[in-house]
Amino acid sequence: MAASAGATSAPLVVGEIEIDSRDIFSQKEIENTNGALRFLRRSMNGVHFNTREYVLRRELLFKPGDSFDPHRLAETERNLRALGYLNNVSVTAVDTTSDGRVNIRVSTDESWTLRTSFSYSLASGGDQRWNVSLSDRNFLGHGVTVGGGLGEDENASYWNLWYRQQRLFRTGLSLGIDYASRQDGYLRQVFLSKPFYALDDTWSMNLSVWDNLADHRYYLSNAGPAGDDPTSTASLYAKLPFHDSAVEAAFQKRVSSEGEGRVWRVGAGIRVRETNFDLNEQDYLLSDGRTEDLTFLAEPGQPFARDQGTTVFPFIWVRSLGRTWAKARFVLQYGPTEDLSRDLDFNFKAGPAGGSLGSTTGYAESKFHFEGWFTKWARLVGGNMFFSGAGQGDTGSRNVRNYRYDVVTGWIGTAGNQNSPWITRVFAEYGQGQNLNGSKALLLGLDRGMRTLGFDGMAGDRMARWNFEQGKATPWEIAGLFRMGFAGFYSGGSAWWRDETRDKSDIRHEAGFGLRFGPTRSANSQIARIDLAWDLNGDGSPVITAITRGFF
């Protein structure tokens, strides 16, 4: 016999928990098709391993007999969506019994997690990237990610393997392993953590170890000793072998009250890092075809010399986030439900990193290092406003003082039919640095919003870019797997070193149109953009690009 929540004076508690896990395609969706499409849908259901029930139950933030808390249901729903291999997630109270027990139903749709991908990018400058990979984000339904691939970037060919597992051996630990073999080096990385699975979890820890050797593009000013033309807008760089190895351990504890107000977490940690560039050759080939002696980079006062060696960085760690969330669609994805935090979320680490602690970087001088980021979503004029920023730097004498930051803001608005809306996207980004190591330059190019440039066609310690896009999502789903849309866009921007000669005429402008594809039954939620773009600064030849990264 069911009773309303207000019919009992006893505190409500969690009752039975029903798990309703559905196939990628329902039986009705299969029956409503025929021929090859019916075969495809039936085959995908048959080959796919559905998520095991224990995987879903271990993510629940409540159990039978717990006090009933609607906020825990909403947080569990967000966590299940964040796993990346479930669609149409809902966690709802379905009935309240006469003895005050609230029965809960957890409903999910499976997504296609076996991902075979091939990507190819050809930049306007001739650099190319390609990658072929096979991965599964929910291997055999156990919530484990495994994958491997091979490819080539602008520096070298490579092959790589990766592994991720949450709640290792059904504990609260998470494990990640990366291994890559490259023509120019390797990557070996392992991390073990106990994350905050819930806002009110008491503590977390992480341990990370990595060792990376590869050629890095070390960017140089066109007005510096290696430059040839201070008015040139093209990026100037040399490829230098870079070795980076480190170990980091950290711990955090929630210090705010449970179940109310902002969440505050405070902790501490230590990072010991060794970085070295190889500068043993007499002359280096630059990106403009010249060869130059770069030994000046190792001279005192140069960022190159400052950042080589060992850095010991003990830090205080502060993280704060809110409890207010909103659901939305057609924001950063192309149709699925998205969770947007309405409260400021920030993360900050700071501490000494000078010679008294054993550091040899920065000429072993005293210095104080800081790094952090923030994000914030807000409702504005029928859309969603986004703010994000990240920065890092060192304080101390002129020899060691440096900083780098960038901030992004954007507005995404929708109008019309909620299933196939018109989508307006406006984004802008600004970055700035001082005494930047050339491997940390701010870049503008195909990877950062300018389709008609190379991957890093412009570089410097200043960067600004912006984008306006008007799109339309269609109601069509290709084979029931992808939602399609189209868009027209304009982009502009520039990147430069402070000592280079720049004016408004050096700002790059481009415009174009293209297709948008958003997966609806796949664990990969990134929007694919296939665009035809024209450089508005004089070169009228169109450039075709296909990208899946970035806000714009």
Extended strands (E) in 334-457 = 338-341, 345-352, 367-380, 383-396, 402-415, 422-434, 442-444
Cβ-proximal residues to 518 (8 Å cutoff; 6+ apart), any chain: 333, 334, 335, 336, 473, 482, 483, 484, 485, 525, 527, 528
| Poorest-pLDDT segment among 120-134, 462-476, 522-536 | 120-134
Residue 334, pLDDT score: 86
Residue 124, pLDDT score: 58
Return the domain boundaries, the chain. 5-110, 196-547
Residue 5 has pLDDT above 60, yes or no: no
Residue 280, pLDDT score: 81
Into which CATH architecture does domain 196-547 fall? Beta Barrel (2.40)
9 pLDDT band (50/70/90 cuts)?
Answer: low
Q: When comparing pLDDT for 465 and 278, which is higher?
A: 465
Give the tens place of pLDDT for each residue, 16-27. 999 999 999 999
Mean pLDDT, the chain, rounded, equals: 91
Residue 278, pLDDT score: 82
Extended strands (E) in 195-302 = 203-220, 236-254, 263-277, 284-285, 291-292
Residue 92 has pLDDT above 90, yes or no: yes
Residue 6, pLDDT score: 47
Residue 2, pLDDT score: 47
Span 477-497, average pLDDT: 92
3-state secondary structure of 542: strand
- Contact between 136 and 117 under an 8 Å Cβ cutoff? The reply is no
**Spatial distance between the Cα atoms of 367 and 88, rounded to a whole number of angstroms:** 50
Span 39-52, average pLDDT: 92
Residue 435 has pLDDT above 70, yes or no: yes
**Spatial distance between the Cα atoms of 339 and 114, rounded to a whole number of angstroms:** 24
Residue 121, pLDDT score: 67
Residue 123, pLDDT score: 63
Q: Which of 550, 152, 531, 181 is nearest to 386 (CA)?
A: 550
Distances (CA, A) of 62 to 167, 230, 239, 323: 16, 62, 53, 17
Q: What is the pTM of this model?
A: 0.89
140 pLDDT band (50/70/90 cuts)?
Answer: very high
The C-alpha angle 189, 548, 144, rounded to 5 degrees, equals: 40
HSE-up (13 A, CA, CB side) for residue 382: 10
318 pLDDT band (50/70/90 cuts)?
Answer: very high
| CATH fold for domain 5-110 | Ubiquitin-like (UB roll) (3.10.20)
**Spatial distance between the Cα atoms of 283 and 160, rounded to a whole number of angstroms:** 32
Residue 4 has pLDDT above 50, yes or no: no
Share of the chain above pLDDT 90, in %: 72
Residue 353 has pLDDT above 60, yes or no: yes
